[in-house]
Structure 1
Amino acid sequence: MAQIAFILLCHKDPEAIISQARQLTAAGDYMAIHFDARANPTDFQRIQDALRDNQNVTFAKKRIKCGWGEWSLVQASLNAVEAALEAFPRATHFYMLSGDCMAIKSAEFAHDLLDREDVDYIESFDFFESDWIKTGMKEERLIYRHFLNERKHKNLFDASFQLQKKLGLTREIPVDLQVMIGSQWWCLRRRTVEWVMKFCQERKDVMRFFRTTWIPDETFFQTIVRHLVPDEEIRTSTLTFLMFTDYGMPVTFYNDHYDLLLSQDFLFARKISPEAADLKQRLGDLYAAKGVEFQISNEGRSLFRFLTSRGRNGLRFAPRFWEAESSLGRERELLIVVAKKWHVAKRLIHKIKEVTGIETIEYLFDEASCPMPDLGGIQTQMGKRARHRRALMRMLYEYYGTDRMVICMDPKNMEMFQDFFSDRSTARLLEVESIFSDDYLAGHAMRVGLAGKNTPKQSMERLLPTIRADVMHESDRIRDAGFENYYRISEGRDAQENAMALSQFLSISPEQALEIAQTNHLFED
């Protein structure tokens, strides 16, 4: 009878990991855990202490600092697989999971499915012939060497790539390999896993090649398994149910998706919301249950396509199920710097990032040229950014791997402020109060199209009081809104006073706040 060793890669939420391990091993299965070496050591100790007496749980002997798109994710997987092979000689199958995955079938059902056929389950499509990669780099992932984390060192990553491209520093793919691509959520037989580990020891050339490819967790196992295992023993599919939005982000499941998930022809689902406590409890109880019958309808993806297509055509009749409870995330903080003088706000947030390391983005909802990462298209048009602002912000948090972010916004965006402050996340607003000279207001009038170079002086003199009143009105609306976490710095205050507001707004020390408040020429035009 099948016995599964789950290979769990995780980096946060120790209580959820402990619960997941206990639920999956209660039915006699096993788990090998790799907890990111970048994560909080206290969290890892808590997991170890809680699972110390569970003989069906082991840990990777060497923990790796993991980064999206890096080889480190593959190495972490190999370390966990090695630990599982050694600790669990009776395991027949090895199943890759993340901390966001949960079983949507019982262990009884899963074991029966794996016993039916002596095969491996792994997506493995031809890298060059398939359309698995929708946007961005394709061949360039392989033929150039990628040494840096694209998300942490975007400019250096791009510079390295462009330099190699300019100098023609391409490399050959190992001649005996057909590179494949697919989901990293696989389930492999013990024999296959042993073959892969032996291959890793023998083929140092292949290991060197994949260590500097980009996003190797989508190609390494997919290529090696297809190289070692006969085609008839591979099912080119994953047993983990996951869906993606039009913008390339995974769909998140909530409490009201229990019946939908159970009806899918998969063993696990990703990704389950951390806030869906009821769903997680019900799915956790399900895995150890006996005699449960499942009615498979498999309508999840078709329902998703139907609902999203109606929305695109203006026929939306109810909230899309994948947008239910659309929140930035209860654990996240959105720090909004509001300033009419954009150059002042930009100077301020650049200094904030320099001093605190908090990720910052300029006027993303006001300035089309604002530098933005590639998020699958949502960032390309100002209308899309505003219309899908919560989705956009969630994607930015995911992209930068952070729970705190500073953004700049124009004071005219009252509707957006109210929307973000109504979210479950923590929103803070810092208003930057500047002195507006007549020359500045005249320039502002020309920038927004209210005046031109040839506007008569008399007309400009009549216009300026109206513009000044509008600017003051926007500021008054913000103050009158009564936002809970509202702070203000002013050109008319000294650095010590402004530092107090900055310290509260950013939750930083008075010394760091003073360094920011003393930014050279902060308020200058």
Structure 2
Amino acid sequence: MAKIAFLLLCHRDPAAIIRQAEGLTGAGDYVAIHFDARAPAAAFAQIVEGTRDNPNITVVRKRVKCGWGEWSLVRATLNTIDTALDTFPRATHFYMVSGDCRPIKSAEHAHAVLDARDTDYIESFDFFTSDWIKTGMKEDRLIYRHLVNERKNKTLFYGLLGLQRKLKLERKVPADIDVMIGSQWWCLRRATLEAICAFLRERPDVLRFFSTTWIPDETFFQTLVRHLVPRSEIDSRTLTFLMFTDYGMPATFYDDHYDLLLSQDFLFARKISPEAATLKEGLDTLWTSGRRDFPIAGDGRRLFTFLTQRGREGRRFAQRFWERESTLGRDRELVVIVCKKYHVAKRLAQSVRDHQIMPAVDYLFDEEATPMPDLGGIESTLAKRHRHRRALVRMLYRRMDTDALAICLDPVQFDLLQDFYADRAAIRTLLVDCDYDANYLEGHAARIGLIGDQTPRTTIDRLMPTVAQDFATESLRIREADLPHIHRIQQSAPPDANAAVLAEVFGVDAETAQALAETPFLFDD
């Protein structure tokens, strides 16, 4: 059976660290604590004294002053590994955690996961070809020597970097090493760590190389594990659930995130807020609960992104240069049917086609499967359609031999609507306001991956008002944008009222407009 030795790197709140370590050993596992050498001596003494009577806890005596992005974090980890290997000979797995981490499953569940596969869990992606690094330095992390902390002395850090670039002091990665990158929160087997320690004794050049790289805690172990362990024995994922904000900082969890955390397919989570006392207590109790029933819901990261960055996903903030120079045509008309319920807009578009008012294309910018004529490949993917949106619509006019066209659009595509209004063509927008009941809101959340079959009811209930507000905000944003020729029909309005609007939008007689308004089952779900 798996026995875990937790490698706990921390720097503050000794009383909380003692409680955390006691909780993690409550199911028979082990903890090796590295307490930052920058912390007061009295705080370190408190940890030593507070854990003295627990044989499953050891405190690393060879402490390091740690700084973000520095080699010191790796050095502290290596010291903690040495202590844990020597002190806990029965430990089978070694799991990196911080003082901000807490379990989101029971110890029994965690042991079962580790027993099920003879595997190392560590993110390990190719440093040069993957897109793991989203912003900032990439190759410069490795090929130049970094001797000072960027956060503490930006002027000196970037001054030394610039000097090395000027003097062409690039260095090469050790020839037999393929550098990998990934999260520092890993879980490795004893044999893997023993192999790493042996390798480092034989290869001091590798140790020297990484000791002057920038943010080596994201590359050092990730690289050595891939170098020493067969690929079939590596699961390139972390067992610790963490998310990042818009600014690249770890998201923080609070008391009301308990259900969300338990439904994620991970064993631990970070960062737990220092103020989330109820959450910490609940998760600490969970670790020794013996519980095995953990329904796994949808992607928590997707949910977090939805709640914090609504509308940003896939949005472009600037036009492509060829779009600025293109136009739909001064004498052409475009009717944009904007509706969140796709089936409603599609029924209206079909009715427009049936009455031969003008060609109408369904959600060409929202659904890749929308039927489209052959436009030379520009229509083949959503990415291409968005990249050449005006050119795409211009080609539709030509292909359909018309100067009037209707298209359907999700209200989330506000930037695309603004782009059309910047054109010389005559643009009219028809907002179709629908009623949304609880079943539809939940179905929408499931379709876009916010919730799954196992999502807790409490999470769904908290999410639904946000989804409903999101719908309302998207429509309101269009209505308040001061764009010309915005018209609106409503599910709650009588057909006669909607017919008057439709007559103006499509330029049809009253009889045809009434037929459009009375399209069979138009607003039915």
Same topology, TM > 0.5: yes
Deviation at 1:298, TM superposition (A): 3.5
Deviations 1:102-145 (A, max 9, x none): 00000000000000000000000000000000111100000000
1:213 aligns with 2:230: no
1:163 aligns with 2:168: no
1:6 aligns with 2:1: no
AA matched with 2:73: L
Deviation at 1:311, TM superposition (A): 6.1
Once residues 216 and 85 of structure 1 are traced to their aligned partners in structure 2, the CA distance between those partners, rounded to angstroms, is 22
The verdict on how the C-alpha distance between 1:136 and 1:291 changes in structure 2, with shifts beyond 3 A counting, is closer
1:246 aligns with 2:282: no
- Matched-pair identity in %: 68
Map 1:240-319; keep pairs closer than 5 Å: 240-310=240-310, 312=312
Deviation at 1:246, TM superposition (A): 1.5
Deviation at 1:247, TM superposition (A): 1.1
Deviations 1:68-119 (A, max 9, x none): 1110000000000000000000000000001100000000000000000000
Q: In the alignment, is the contact (CA less than 8 A) between 1:242 and 1:250 conserved in 2? A: yes
Deviation at 1:309, TM superposition (A): 3.5
Deviations 1:405-424 (A, max 9, x none): xxxxxxxxxxxxxxxxxxxx
Tell me what 2:177 maps to: 177
Map 1:350-361; keep pairs closer than 5 Å: none
Once residues 82 and 11 of structure 1 are traced to their aligned partners in structure 2, the CA distance between those partners, rounded to angstroms, is 19
Deviation at 1:291, TM superposition (A): 3.4
Once residues 171 and 94 of structure 1 are traced to their aligned partners in structure 2, the CA distance between those partners, rounded to angstroms, is 33
Once residues 189 and 127 of structure 2 are traced to their aligned partners in structure 1, the CA distance between those partners, rounded to angstroms, is 23
AA matched with 1:146: H
Structure 1: where are the runs of 5+ without partners? 315-525
Tell me what 1:108 maps to: 108
AA matched with 1:75: R
Map 1:394-413; keep pairs closer than 5 Å: none
Once residues 127 and 312 of structure 2 are traced to their aligned partners in structure 1, the CA distance between those partners, rounded to angstroms, is 31
AA matched with 1:30: Y
Once residues 175 and 298 of structure 2 are traced to their aligned partners in structure 1, the CA distance between those partners, rounded to angstroms, is 40
Once residues 71 and 302 of structure 2 are traced to their aligned partners in structure 1, the CA distance between those partners, rounded to angstroms, is 34
Tell me what 1:232 maps to: 232
AA matched with 1:6: F
1:21 aligns with 2:48: no
AA matched with 2:98: S
Q: In the alignment, is the contact (CA less than 8 A) between 1:122 and 1:187 conserved in 2? A: yes
Deviation at 1:312, TM superposition (A): 5.0
AA matched with 1:39: A
Once residues 284 and 240 of structure 2 are traced to their aligned partners in structure 1, the CA distance between those partners, rounded to angstroms, is 16
Other structure's SS at 2:27 match: coil
Deviation at 1:5, TM superposition (A): 0.2
Tell me what 2:86 maps to: 86
Tell me what 2:470 maps to: none
Deviations 1:272-317 (A, max 9, x none): 0000000000000010111341111133112112223426599xxx
Once residues 81 and 296 of structure 1 are traced to their aligned partners in structure 2, the CA distance between those partners, rounded to angstroms, is 32
Once residues 258 and 137 of structure 2 are traced to their aligned partners in structure 1, the CA distance between those partners, rounded to angstroms, is 36
Deviation at 1:191, TM superposition (A): 0.2
Other structure's SS at 1:12 match: coil
Q: In the alignment, is the contact (CA less than 8 A) between 1:106 and 1:288 conserved in 2? A: yes
Deviations 1:392-438 (A, max 9, x none): xxxxxxxxxxxxxxxxxxxxxxxxxxxxxxxxxxxxxxxxxxxxxxx
Once residues 272 and 166 of structure 2 are traced to their aligned partners in structure 1, the CA distance between those partners, rounded to angstroms, is 43
TM-score scaled by length of structure 2: 0.59
Computed over aligned residues only, the root mean square deviation of the Cα atoms, in angstroms, reads: 1.2
Tell me what 2:61 maps to: 61
Once residues 105 and 52 of structure 1 are traced to their aligned partners in structure 2, the CA distance between those partners, rounded to angstroms, is 27
Q: In the alignment, is the contact (CA less than 8 A) between 1:74 and 1:217 conserved in 2? A: yes
Tell me what 1:371 maps to: none
Tell me what 2:39 maps to: 39
Other structure's SS at 1:34 match: strand
Tell me what 2:133 maps to: 133
AA matched with 2:223: T
Tell me what 1:51 maps to: 51
Once residues 159 and 130 of structure 1 are traced to their aligned partners in structure 2, the CA distance between those partners, rounded to angstroms, is 28
Deviations 1:353-410 (A, max 9, x none): xxxxxxxxxxxxxxxxxxxxxxxxxxxxxxxxxxxxxxxxxxxxxxxxxxxxxxxxxx
Q: In the alignment, is the contact (CA less than 8 A) between 1:69 and 1:149 conserved in 2? A: yes
Structure 2: where are the runs of 5+ without partners? 316-525
AA matched with 1:258: Y
Other structure's SS at 1:243 match: coil
Deviations 1:198-245 (A, max 9, x none): 111111000000000000000000000000000000000000000001
Other structure's SS at 2:94 match: strand
Once residues 302 and 208 of structure 1 are traced to their aligned partners in structure 2, the CA distance between those partners, rounded to angstroms, is 39
AA matched with 2:273: S
Deviations 1:324-359 (A, max 9, x none): xxxxxxxxxxxxxxxxxxxxxxxxxxxxxxxxxxxx
Tell me what 1:199 maps to: 199
Deviation at 1:61, TM superposition (A): 2.9
Q: In the alignment, is the contact (CA less than 8 A) between 1:60 and 1:82 conserved in 2? A: no
Tell me what 1:500 maps to: none
Other structure's SS at 1:6 match: strand
Map 1:312-391; keep pairs closer than 5 Å: 312=312
Tell me what 1:73 maps to: 73
Once residues 15 and 59 of structure 1 are traced to their aligned partners in structure 2, the CA distance between those partners, rounded to angstroms, is 14
Once residues 153 and 52 of structure 1 are traced to their aligned partners in structure 2, the CA distance between those partners, rounded to angstroms, is 39
Other structure's SS at 2:33 match: strand
Tell me what 1:326 maps to: none
